Structures are given as C-alpha cells and as structure tokens.
Amino acid sequence: MQGILQYQNDTLADAVKMRGRIILFGRRAIFTEGAFRAYGSRSRRFLFSRRTHWARRYCYEKTREYVGETKGKVVFDLYSGTGTIAQILAPVAEKVVGVEIVGEAVEAARENAARNGLGNCEFLAGDVLKVVDELEEKPDLIVLDPPRDGIHPKAIGKILNFGVSHMVYVSCKPTSLARDLEPIQAAGYQVDKVCCVDMFPHTANCETVVSLTRKK
C-alpha cells in the first residue's frame, strides 16, 4: 500500500469537489498502472473522482483509438491535466505539447513524463485561450479535454485557426459538448465517431469521446 488519503467534501453536487485532503498514511502521490506505463497523480483537482477502473481505462483506450496514427506527428493536448493522454500518445508521436491552467497538474505531468522516460512531452502552464497564441509549432492533430464548462468561445476560434484535419474532443458534460460542437461543425468539421462512457454514475453527465474530421 502506497498511502491512504482522506478527502473532505460536505457539499451536494453532480461533480466531486474537494475542500481538503488529509494524509492518513504513506505519501500523497499515488502511482498506478495506466494505459501503457506507471503514472502518478498528485494534483488535488485531477486525482479524485468516482470513476470505476474499467470506465477510465475504456475511455483512454477509445481516445487512443480515435486519435489514430501519430507516428512522426506533432500533437497538441489542450486542457491536458496531469498528462495522461499526452503520455499515451507520446511513445509514437514526434512530440506532444500539453497545455493546462492548473500549475500543480502541470508539475505532476512533467514528473510523470520524466518517470516514464518520455523526452518528447512538453507541458505548459497557462490558459489555453492565451497560450495558443504563443505556440510556435503547428500541430498535426489536436486532442481537447476541457473541464466541465467546456471551451471558451474565443479559444475555439483560435484552435480552429490551426486548421488541423483531425481532432478528438473528450467531454465530461454533454451540454457543454453540444454547445462547443456547433462552431466546430460550422467551421467545416464533421463528427465521425462518438463513444459515451458512464464515468459519473447516478448523475446526468457522462464522458463522451468524439472524433472530428475536417471536410475536404
């Protein structure tokens, strides 16, 4: 056993919200076997959910399937959290750039990548809306995994300006996904595949993985 953590939450919500954490035993970082290698999660905002193991793994597997071939490609993982998806794609991709607004999550992502020997992962701390203006590299494909509120409308416009042929959107709230898909589809992208995973039992929300291809 690596440790026992107690999370404090006395509110009613359709999302898991943490007000405090107590280390009862061991260490605060829990390392588990992910989709391809060991990864650790120590960010307060990303460690903690009621997701079942099979649902989490299935969601990542579907994301990897929908992304498709990454050999020799530059991938942007926007809203990258602790870098799990980025690290799943990195072994084959030329480079993966992750952008995440939560500084602690970015630190964890860098630590996880180093632990897994992935030198082609770069994780940047900041708001996607602002950071995309500073990126010099151009992506070949983009993975979007925003928080529950979805993507800022202005950020969507900037993301679309990259003009990639393929994007994968991972959503944890159907209404936000539906709203964000409107401008994306209006810009010439079509939905190829959709997979829903019940990662939030007994709520109206579910994790949805969407493959989007730009019309020729």
Catalytic residues: 172
Written as six digits, the tokens of 47 are: 């460690």
What is the rounded CA–CA span in Å between residue 146 and residue 177?
Answer: 10
* Interstrand relation of 38-41 and 30-33 (parallel, antiparallel or unpaired): antiparallel
What is the rounded CA–CA span in Å between residue 214 and residue 38?
Answer: 34
What is the rounded CA–CA span in Å between residue 73 and residue 104?
Answer: 27
- CB of 150 closer than 8 Å to CB of 174: no
- CB of 187 closer than 8 Å to CB of 145: no
Residue 79 burial by Cβ neighbours in a 10 Å radius (0-12, 13-18, 19+): buried
Q: What's the first-to-final CA gap in the chain, in angstroms?
A: 53
Written as six digits, the tokens of 26 are: 């061991």
In angstroms, how far is CA 194 from the centroid of its own chain?
Answer: 16
